[in-house]
Structures are given as structure tokens and as C-alpha cells.
Amino acid sequence: MLGPGAADVAFEVNGHPASVHVPPHHTLLDALRDELGLTGAKRVCDEGTCGACTVLVDGRPTYSCMTLAVACEGRSIETVEGLAHDGQLDPVQQAFIATDAYQCGFCTPGQIMSVVALLRANKAPTAEDVHRAVAGNLCRCGAYPGIVEAALRAARARRR
């Protein structure tokens, strides 16, 4: 039993062990943004409807605003901050730039994480597969055509 006060929770973030001291009512998004300073995942709806806070939990795209931090004990979390390696952007990130798959950029980290998860499971997605993957990631600027294009382009780049 934990709480209602703060407790230590240990998990892995972007391949590195991390630990936070949070009460049970704090979400993974709270922990990432406020405890770990990872502000890529955004708080937009804060109730699991928009996807701007999407991160991967054990590889699965997850709304971090609707996930309790304590429930992440021992799990592997991936955020947009962990995608680039040695200054080299992930093909999905590169494709987002090339196709201009954003305007204000606020939903972009969540969109990218959803696409990353899709491409790991599906090397050659169709546009329809991409739609399914990002239908839970709203974009108020309406960058959807670019996002779909970016996902397909990144998949092609990965296959090459």
C-alpha cells in the first residue's frame, strides 16, 4: 500500500533508470514534466482525449495524463526526448520536418510517439494504418495531411 503521501517510484525513462518521489494521485505526465523536466509531452486536455501527452509505456502508445505514476513502477517509458541519438534525429522526426507535419508544434511530440509505435509494429503501413495510429492524437492546427505523409515517408526511409 502506498500513499496518500509521496512514495518512491522507479522506472526507466528513455533507456535510463529514473526515480521520482510522488503521491499516488500524480500522473505519469505530472512526473515527466514536473519531476523529470521532460516537457516534450504536453498537457492539453488532461483527460485522455487529445493525445498530446502520448508516450510509450513498455512500447505501447499511452496517454500519460491518464496513467498514474505509481502504476509505472518497473516499466519502460519512452518520450520524444529519447528518440534522437548522438544528434541524429529519428527518421520519423526527420520526416516530420521534411513534410512540414506541424504548425504550432504543441501536439507534435505526441503525434511522433504514436507514429514511432506504429512503425515498430508495422514496417509498411498504409495510410489507413496511419489514420488508426494517430486518430487519438488531435491537432488543432490541422497538420494531419503532413503527419500522414510523414509517417509513410519515415516508413519508406526505415525500409531502405
With respect to other proteins, which residue has the nearer C-beta, 18 or 45? 45
With respect to other proteins, which residue has the nearer C-beta, 77 or 112? 112
- The least CB distance from residue 159 to other proteins, in Å, is 20
Task: Retrieve residue 152's grid coordinates.
Answer: 509513410
Q: What are phi and psi of 73, to 5 degrees?
A: -50, 125
Name residues whose C-beta falls within 8 Å of residue 109's C-beta, 6 or more positions apart in sequence: 40, 41, 42, 52, 54, 79, 80
CA-CA distances (angstroms) from residue 32 to 6, 18, 118, 137?
Answer: 15, 10, 22, 19
With respect to other proteins, which residue has the nearer C-beta, 145 or 159? 145
- The least CB distance from residue 17 to other proteins, in Å, is 20
Pairing between strand 7-13 and 60-63? unpaired
- The least CB distance from residue 46 to other proteins, in Å, is 6
